[in-house]
Structure 1
Amino acid sequence: MAALASRVELGFTEEAPAWRLRSDQFPSKVYAPLPGRADAFHRGLFLFCCREPPCCAGLRVFRNQLPRKNDFYSYEPPSENLPPETGESVCLQLKSGAHLCRVCGCLGPKTCSRCHKAHYCGKVHQALDWRSGHKQACSQPDHLDHAIPDHNFLFPEFEIVIETEDEIIPEVVDKEDAAEIVGSMGEALEEELDSMAKHESREDKIFQKFKAQIACEPEQILRYGRGLAPIWISGENIPQEKDIPDCPCGAKRIFEFQVMPQLLNYLKADRLGTSVDWGILAVFTCAESCSLGTGYTEEFVWKQDVADTP
């Protein structure tokens, strides 16, 4: 079985220059290699979400893994210094020579017929880029690398910086703990706490536990802990084992990471009416991290919303 986590790692957003977010720099966007696995020296998890109504969901997650020696990335680690030739280049090219789309970063076999420098995955993104500024930049090909298009249908892009969660986590005070804390504070107060505890629902307890768990680091947008357990934000819609489908290879899927509601603050997706929203997104991946061909393997994501509580 692939290596499992012993402690939870927390992810926080951090702004970074465009060149640091290119794939050849291996930015931390759930980049999760497995120690001791030669076939997973490079391993990434990619979560996709539709931001447009009426969908505002369409959640899908994919896993990709490669050995250190491959046709796409250099064997040696990338340089930590600003590339001297172009700086903020958006003309992306893999080691294999394949170009990437200026808009979405997918393979870009199509090129602009005028400048032959801008690459696209297809006509749709080429048209979007043309309207978003390439029409002007195309006549000045020497400046094309520095013209970063503003495609507002994409989410803002950040790097994820990682910190290990402290071992001491605030705990929810339950009825017994509360009575012990009261001590000699009086029988009337103890009776009041007892009455409150009787009316406290399971939903309240789970939500309070969630708030206590993240209280020390409220800005966390991701929690990574392969083989551990997610923290649920609600008592409703918690999946059972039967709800998590096995990997096509036959292995069970285990929890790997969860996306927190705080990420919504950075995505700038809010709008009147329907909008992207979630309580948490829990991602489950193949326990064996199997190698199914050389492409991408779809994994499983569970969306839990925030239940309405008093």
Structure 2
Amino acid sequence: MIAFPVIADKQAFTSWRSAPNNWHALVNAIARASNVVSDEITPFQTGTNLVVGLNDSVILKLFPPIYRSQFISERATLRLLGEKLSVPIPQLVAEGEQSGWSYLIMTRLHGILGSEAWPTLSESEKGRVLAEIGRTIAEVQAVPPGDLAAIEPTWPDFIARQVEGCIERHRRQGLAPNLLADLDELLQQVPSVVPLDAPPVILTGEWIPENFLLAETDGRWHLAALIDFGDVMTGWREYDLLGPSAFMCAGLPGRVASLMRGYGLGPNALDAAMRRRLLTLMLLHRASDVRHIDIDGWEARVGRLVDLENVVWPADGGR
């Protein structure tokens, strides 16, 4: 038996994870039990859970009891999507559960973390990668949800919960008063704007540079791998366009057009109704914080909250 610690809350886990002496012996014990060599252990700093590389060949991801739902989501997603996409995802090597803790050992994919590589790409390369991201989002959503459809919350329950806490969340984050004043009206329109009964598709919720790898082949940068599926759920398909829109497109029409084209949308699909849906979903996203939208000076370009939809998704961005 492997001795797992008792972790009371997120803060305690963050503190425990930050000190390798706390978990080094535990990682070695899990590796031995899984017949995996662990002579070299390399921790990764990003992510919610403890993630370490073992001998540059596999990744161990360790989930404390408070994040068990992420283990369930990631394991189900890796099982379901394996070899069904044009872009590689990790393959499961071993898994286990004990004392409320869970772990996955998976193959290590090669490439450069998107958050490191993206700033170095030229504008044409960024457009090409965004098109590949759009295509891959569509590929994921073409796979029937299977067991993922049972993951809670359901899409209608998720939206209801996000609506309930939306105003307080954005007030706490410091949304400008003039924009916060518009939020209540926007939320009242949610039932008529956000599809709640459409057939749900797989949503990773986080198509952001920290969750994929890029690589350069023959002088061309491309999407090399997808990683991190701990927040997967099912729901309305456009939700997964939010990450690349807010953190990669920079409000530039060409980039937005590349993303939408890769996703399979025609030149006129990004109309006023779609931009309103996307804005509403962005404010309801489980990680929503408009302070982090990666568009320089966007605050000076909006007088009302609804103006933000044309900043993030310019009217000619679908053409």
Q: Which has the higher contact order (CA 8 A, sep 6+)?
A: 1
Fold match (TM-score > 0.5): no
- Larger helix share, 1 or 2: 2
TM-score range for the pair, normalised by the shorter chain length: under 0.3
Structure number with bigger Rg: 1
Q: TM-score, normalised by structure 2?
A: 0.22
Question: TM-score, structure 1 length as denominator?
Answer: 0.23
